[in-house]
Chains A and B, each alone.
Chain A
């Protein structure tokens, strides 16, 4: 990667401009406004020419890793290929200029697209209705939990203010519950990595609104006790929320509604292949079973208009390009890739839960953790060294169940050659841990910057550029 160390402000010169706007011939301008409504000094925004702007941002792009440049084995992130046709269709001029408040008769194409997309999502999940308004996975969780609370409130059951969340859950689960005004009760995992039924049962009293689950869970394991969990939670009067972050494992094979879930969200930027964009925009549609569908409008508005419509378009294009013929192969091929990598490295990396995994799995550091001279090779060292080999690092130090978690999710769009190259790199790193430890401890060596000082960043806050 190329190193480039400029910020746009450092290219600025008084008198340069990068815009092309008409002069205008209006009689009045903002100078006519009362003095106290006008700002006193103009903002210190950069003054840069157009070619400088283009070159600056193209140079910045060169300092990024991306799906289009290489393999991202990031667990729970589903970094699959993002088809270019979806981008082309999402910028279709027939949709780009629609105002969200236009009269319905003028936006029938957009509404039809939303309808067809939610029909497909219903078919693929078994749910009865979807709202497309949530803008991201966590936003979907919050919306889904609001529906759950509304369900209890609508029945006059006001004491159900607690929600059960497994200790292996994504951090968004407890955080969404807290924003929704629910008290989080954590349920333990067994040593095999599944929900501990003996711990769960006594928690299920009449103050419990429901349970949030990811299935497969963050260890990549299918919760084999799901039938029993569903039965217990429903008998206790609670509802089951399905966190769709790991839905890629099941796409085409298992539908959350058939497992017994009542409410769920999908991360369209994971399972349905819309690009992550460096952290959004995503989309987190929420699906519910038939008996809850009427509650969706009752919770009130959760986002500005119709959700991230541009993202919805991409997801629909993805579904249509796979179609009924290919959609059922997504889950199995993703699971195949995960198990293949898991089996290929388990002699060199500690595999705390050796059973069949779904779309992802977790190693707990190297099999031989002591490098010989007493220095520990950490998961961070392994992750940073992988960058030198041209791979993105896996998700690290999550789930919290192990000290040295390395969470790997290969997805269905990586070829066997790519997976083998990754496996080879991981094996070489394991060798290096024994032969040339310094190389790991000082990695990465080939990136534009190396191990930035995060403590300094947090103790001496510099959050904006100053001249």
Chain B
């Protein structure tokens, strides 16, 4: 069983979003990190890069797999988690405290299309 945190929003591609004003913090869910195995590299966008909802903004790599990251929201990258450059395995240790990027959202209403913890829990149950 993978861990799911209340109060976050989740996408079908297993990213989570935490909203604080117009800033969205984005990471990957416990389910995502478990299905990847040991993560060896996180490909992140640069600060000030524009990203669009449902479009790819990076990738997470394990030894034998790579999984693209899809942005749950549109906006401009304000921050990337530099700690992941040196220690990508942090995503395996705790995918919820170890976020990947922060984005200044164009339209915070985009969040409404995402799942809450209960809905995501059901969604994941269907995949496990």
Contacts and interface: CB of A to CB of B under 8 A. Distances in A.
Touch between chains A and B, by CB atoms below 8 Å: yes
Interface of A: 397, 454-455, 458-459
Contacts of A454: 63-64
B27 interface: no
Contacts of A397: 64
Nearest to A380: B64
A397 to B, nearest CB: 7
Nearest to B64: A397
A208 B119 CA distance: 38
15 contacts: A397-B64, A454-B63, A454-B64, A455-B38, A455-B40, A455-B62, A455-B63, A458-B40, A458-B41, A458-B61, A458-B63, A459-B40, A459-B41, A459-B88, A459-B89
A455 B91 CA distance: 14
Contacts of B88: 459
Contacts of B63: 454-455, 458
Nearest to A455: B38
Contacts of A459: 40-41, 88-89
Contacts of A458: 40-41, 61, 63
A134 to B, nearest CB: 27
A203 B40 CA distance: 36
A458 B63 CA distance: 7
Contacts of B89: 459
A458 B88 CA distance: 11
A459 B61 CA distance: 11
Bin chain B's interface residue count. under 10
Nearest to A458: B40
A392 to B, nearest CB: 19
Contacts of B64: 397, 454
A327 B61 CA distance: 44
A459 B89 CA distance: 9
Interface string B12-41: 000000000000000000000000001011
Given A455-B63, A459-B41, 7 more contacts: A397-B64, A454-B64, A455-B62, A458-B41, A458-B63, A459-B40, A459-B89
A114 B89 CA distance: 53
A397 B61 CA distance: 17
Nearest to A457: B63
A47 B70 CA distance: 52
A454 B37 CA distance: 12
Interface in B55-72: 61-64
A394 to B, nearest CB: 16
A459 B84 CA distance: 11
Contacts of B61: 458
A113 B118 CA distance: 70
Contacts of B38: 455
Nearest to A396: B64
Contacts of B62: 455
A454 B39 CA distance: 11
Q: Which of B38, B62, B89 has the most CB of A within 10 A?
A: B38
Interface string B88-104: 11000000000000000
A454 B64 CA distance: 9
A397 B37 CA distance: 15
A458 B37 CA distance: 13
Contacts of A455: 38, 40, 62-63
B92 to A, nearest CB: 10
A459 B64 CA distance: 13
Nearest to A400: B65
A441 B18 CA distance: 40
A120 B72 CA distance: 56
A454 B63 CA distance: 7
Q: Which of B40, B41, B61, B64 has the most CB of A within 10 A?
A: B40
A459 B85 CA distance: 10
A455 B61 CA distance: 11
B85 to A, nearest CB: 11
A219 to B, nearest CB: 20
B127 to A, nearest CB: 13
A349 to B, nearest CB: 21
A397 B62 CA distance: 15
Nearest to B38: A455
Nearest to B92: A455
